[in-house]
Amino acid sequence: MAANCAANYTCSTATGTLTVNKVALSVTITGETMVYGTAVPTPSSALTAGNYTTYVTVTGLVNGDTVPTTISIGLSTPATSSSSVGGGTGAGGAYLINSAVTGSSSASYTITNPTGLLTITKNVLTVTAKTQTITYGSSPNLTGSAATVASRVQASDTQSTVLGGTEPSLEAVDTTSTPVATTSPVGGTYTIIPTQGTLPPTLTNYTYSLVNGTLNITQATLTLTAIAQSIAYGNPPNLAATYGTTISVTGLQNGETTGVITATRTLSDSASPNHLTNGNPNVGTWTISVSVASACASNYTCTTATGNLTVTPVALSVAVNSASKNYGAALPTFSGVVTGLVNTDAVGGTITISYNTTATASSPVGSNYPITATVGGTNIGNYTLTNTPSTLTINPVGLTVTVASQTKVYGAALPSLAVDPAR
């Protein structure tokens, strides 16, 4: 104060109070959503200038106060990734987002710490029908095990729990929505459709998404097997490709018959051509094969299997003719009766016969000498041989003895008597 207050006055001083009132600060928290089972949005408790406006709107800052320099806003929520839909205390079951405003200038403001809402939405539970491949004549697996709960099932939620202890139902249909049957043909377009009723009331955290699967029908397998045959040597095999007679068929579906088979088929045997005699195979076991020269049938693929051709020998009889000769004469030409030859087998060709005896030209009279046949040739193995021997009889020859005439004189001694060597 100045030394002289006024001519007629003396001055004294007294202090007063300046009151600075708080300014109202408005903080509005932006609502958030999250999908059940996913991570909770967690903005930084000390919001930066770059991102705080994503979560909050602040109005009323003065004197250059800014977030986050002089004002800090912390956000928190009791929700977790396993929190259920509608389980919060906020409106509509949302979870609260709580705020706390701090900072060097926070005391200069009237602050009402606001709350926001975090809404948890249902997760999508995807039920996908598995793709299946079946063969013609069989049925797809339409039990629930053929469907997969493929998406976003929480670790604490088992498939059976999520599905309410029931499996999804499945239906397989063609393009006209006709259910698939065992007679549904190969090459069609088939869809496996999953269906499911409402979820159990306690499972409010999911909504269903149903995804169709594909059903593929492939050709069934037919096996064409050559039927075994047994023939006697000299007879031809039956190589006519006739179902039920020379070819058996297994694998037909739906009560179908061999009439559905369109394949051209032939039979052949391993005896041809190297082991044939005039078109008829030699004795032994040969293989009959089935050949399929074209597509089997629209709903089938063909495989083949061999059968055995068994050729058995036939009876061949060689009966040696009996013979005779005179003592001292040369041995005669022997012969026999041959019965049972087939095809063009002939003695002197594919069959050989030689006759033998133990007798010689000088063998004496009085014994029957055996005549035997030795039978061979390239085709003798095709016969069961009955070989009957015979006998050679040696006949005696006539012998004439002539005594030579003699003379003597009366009274003389008798001359020597002798056989006339000239007679």
- DSSP codes joined into one string, 9-67: B-----------PPEEEEEEEPPEEEETTSPPP---SS--TTTHHHHEEEE---TT--T
CA 322 to centroid of chain Cα atoms: 72
Q: Are strands 276-277 and 229-232 parallel, antiparallel or unpaired?
A: unpaired
Instruction: Report pLDDT digits (tens) over 193-227.
Output: 988 655 666 567 887 788 899 999 999 999 999 99
Burial of 185 (0-12, 13-18, 19+ CB in 10 A): exposed
Residue 288 and residue 301 in contact, taking contact as beta carbons nearer than 8 Å: no
Question: Which pLDDT score, from 0 to 100, does residue 44 have?
Answer: 47
Please, what is the Cα angle at 94 between 88 and 95, to 5 degrees?
Answer: 60
More confident residue, 326 or 403: 326
Which residues lie below 8 Å from residue 284, measured CB to CB, with a gap of 6+? 271, 275, 311
Residue 348 and residue 363 in contact, taking contact as beta carbons nearer than 8 Å: no
Q: Going from the N-terminus, what domains does the chain have, and what CATH number goes with each? A: 23-121 (2.60.40), 124-218 (3.10.430), 220-312 (3.10.430), 315-395 (2.60.40)
Reported as a pLDDT band with limits 50, 70 and 90, residue 74 is confident
Residue 343 and residue 234 in contact, taking contact as beta carbons nearer than 8 Å: yes
- Counting residues of the chain whose pLDDT is more than 70, the rounded percentage is 86
More confident residue, 135 or 72: 135
Residue 253 and residue 137 in contact, taking contact as beta carbons nearer than 8 Å: yes
Question: Which pLDDT score, from 0 to 100, does residue 46 have?
Answer: 44
Which residues lie below 8 Å from residue 398, measured CB to CB, with a gap of 6+? none
Residue 297 and residue 263 in contact, taking contact as beta carbons nearer than 8 Å: yes
User: Mean pLDDT across the stretch 321-337?
Assistant: 95
More confident residue, 198 or 240: 240
Beta strands in 263-344 (DSSP E): 265-269, 276-277, 280-281, 284-292, 300-305, 307-312, 314-320, 323-326, 336-339
State the chain's mean pLDDT as an integer: 86
Look at residues 155, 159, 160, 47 and name the one whose alpha carbon lies nearest to residue 97.
Answer: 47
Q: What would the two tokens of residue 184 be?
A: 């549904």
Identify the three-state secondary structure at position 7: coil
Residue 285 and residue 308 in contact, taking contact as beta carbons nearer than 8 Å: yes
More confident residue, 1 or 39: 39
Listing DSSP states for 155-222 in one string gives TT--HHHHTTT-PPEEEEE-TTSPBP-TTPPTT--EEEEEE--PPPTT-TTEEEEEE-EEEEEEPEEE
Residue 213 and residue 189 in contact, taking contact as beta carbons nearer than 8 Å: no
Question: Which pLDDT score, from 0 to 100, does residue 388 have?
Answer: 97
CB atoms within 10 A of CB 236: 11
Stated pTM of the model: 0.68
Question: Which pLDDT score, from 0 to 100, does residue 331 have?
Answer: 95
Question: Which pLDDT score, from 0 to 100, does residue 59 have?
Answer: 87
What one-character DSSP code corresponds to residue 283?
S
Residue 136 has pLDDT above 50, yes or no: yes
Rounded to the nearest 5°, which phi and psi values hold at 211? Answer: -120, 125
- Counting residues of the chain whose pLDDT is more than 90, the rounded percentage is 48
Question: Which pLDDT score, from 0 to 100, does residue 1 have?
Answer: 53
Instruction: Report pLDDT digits (tens) over 54-72.
Output: 678 888 899 999 888 898 8
Q: In whole angstroms, what is the distance from residue 136 CA to residue 252 CA?
A: 10
